A and B are shown apart, each in its own frame.
Chain A
Amino acid sequence: MPIMALTELMRILRDCAGQDESVDFEGDIADVPFEELGYDSLALLQAAGMAEREHNVRLEDEAVATATTPRELLATINQSMAVESL
């Protein structure tokens, strides 16, 4: 069962919305709020759209809107990918 790793999610975010020059992306950022990472709701929508396209999944509005950290968004994506692969 394919799952998305954090590095891939961060790559998608970077492609969609750049990478804030003042933020340290090297450390453990899985639980850092998106706001602090410099990603607003539009960036997340764009990233969700890209994830949907690349992995052929649908992400629920509510789930995308309530994901506040990379870990949470990753969980949503991987859940959908799991359902898709059934």
Chain B
Amino acid sequence: MVVRTAMAEAAGLDRGVPGATAPVVTGIGVAAPNGLGTGPWWRATLAGERAIAPITRFNADSYPARMAGEVRDFDPSEHLPSRLIPQTDHMTRLALAASAEAFADAGVDTSALPEYAAGVVTSASAGGFEFGQRELQALWSKGSRHVSAYQSFAWFYAVNTGQISIRHGLRGPSGVLVTGEAGGLDAVAQARRRLRGDAELMLTGGVDGSLCPWGWTALLSSGRLSTSDDPEHAYLPFSADARGHVVGEGGALLVLEAPESARARGARAYGALSGYAATFDPAPGAGGEPGLRYAIEQALDEADVTPDQVGVVFADACGVPDDDRAEADAISGVFGSRGVPVTAPKTLTGRLCAGGASLDLAAALLSVHEGVLPPTADVGRQAEGICLDLVTGTPRYGRVDVALVLARGQGGFNAAAVVRAADL
């Protein structure tokens, strides 16, 4: 049942034919713990290859949580000129590698684009936190004169957007959104907004990570990190044994453009972004339903899709029992009990902060493009009251017309996005 929303009514907006004006994704760039580059990551994802392991970035022995999804074997000198290395945090370097891959994948020569035609919108959570820790360390242990000139920009939340726009000469409208783990969808929605009359092509998504002792301490204070040392059982969303989540680094960047422009270039489109909505939960103690269900309904409504048309839901999969229950309730509320296949490939990588939802979007796009549902790592028995059709074990092959991606940022942020097969 489609809920005709107050939003569309009140606005009296002409949404037009769904898909006709929905922007398409023509390029994907990925940096993930289980694969650097879209190909390696997607193959590893379909094979269910987990990349959750003890942290190597620093000695985590004295911390209660010691597992993470790290991007291994990344040599920045293979991706960046040497002058960018002193001025970039590790996650910015990953972002620059992913942006180059996305443009190459889309077959876009950014230097040939009209002036102001293209911009960047990324999501961030903590900025270049490891870079920041080194600078704070220098400040407090040696003094203010030991703080680098690069600290004036290498850590702030806008750094990835800034560096990407410079690297690729993108002078169009740019932006940065911070909404925790929901940011990976919110940024893409903002990029979609920009395509309505302000730009022809946008690079968007998130690549994130705060894997340093200072970032780790902050993540620990969220109270949501799993303290298990067993990679197979540390992060079990929806499970009766759910005990928090594992965090990782990485994400995805997507090239988003109007279907007409993709067609004109003869570009291949992975899929179309045909619906999106964001809501915020009621204040603690205020009572009322969490906002995820409403976001799902709004997004489906905008995409003009009924629940039975959805082929898969990429879950937020927080891994904390109450949050899992709330998400499962929202999904079942819309689709019915076991009413839609649900998957969480992030069980293989950990939750990637502001990059995670973008990586899920990439997975959703490849799902509709190739006709396959990637698996979730085995979570064992589902928790009491949760009854989801979880895709576990092996991928499920078969046509997928519509995928729904969910993301929730700590503090109450909800986002839902609908991806449809592109009709170019």
Q: Which of B82, B85, B146 has the most CB of A within 10 A?
A: B82
The residue from A17, A49, A53 contacting B83, defined by CB atoms under 8 A apart = A17
Chief secondary structure at chain A's binding surface: helix
> Is there contact, CB below 8 Å, between B145 and A20?
no
Residues of B within 8 Å of A17, CB to CB, are: 83, 86-87
Smallest Cβ-Cβ distance to B80: which chain A residue: A18
Query: Which chain B residues lie closer than 8 Å to A39 at the CB level?
Result: 83
A8: CB under 8 A from chain B? no
**Residue A45 lies at the interface, judged by CB distance under 8 Å to chain B:** yes
Chain B, 69-96, CB within 8 A of any chain A CB = 81-87
Contacts of A18 in B (CB 8 A): 81-86
| Cα–Cα, bound, A49→B86 (Å) | 14
Q: Which of A21, A45, A52, A53 contacts B82 (CB 8 A)?
A: A21
> Which one of B82, B87, B145 lies within 8 Å of A49 (CB-CB)?
B145
A85 to chain B minimum Cβ distance, whole angstroms, is 19
- Report whether A15 and B86 are in contact in the complex, using a CB–CB cutoff of 8 Å: yes
With both beta carbons as reference points, the residue of chain A lying nearest to B153 in the complex is identified as A42
Per the CB 8 Å criterion, the residue count for chain A at the interface is 16
With known contacts A42-B150, A46-B148, A53-B146, A19–B86 Cβ distance under 8 A:
no
Bound complex: CA A20 to CA B82 (Å)? 7
Q: Chain B residue with minimal CB distance to A41?
A: B149
Are B149 and A21 closer than 8 Å at their CB atoms?
A: no
- Please, could you name 5 A-B residue pairs with CB atoms under 8 Å apart, sorted by A? A16-B86, A21-B82, A39-B83, A46-B86, A53-B145
Q: A18-B81, A49-B145 are in contact. List 9 more A-B contacts (CB 8 A).
A: A16-B86, A17-B83, A17-B86, A18-B83, A19-B82, A21-B81, A46-B86, A46-B148, A46-B149
The chain B residues found within 8 Å of chain A, CB to CB, are 81-87, 145-146, 148-150
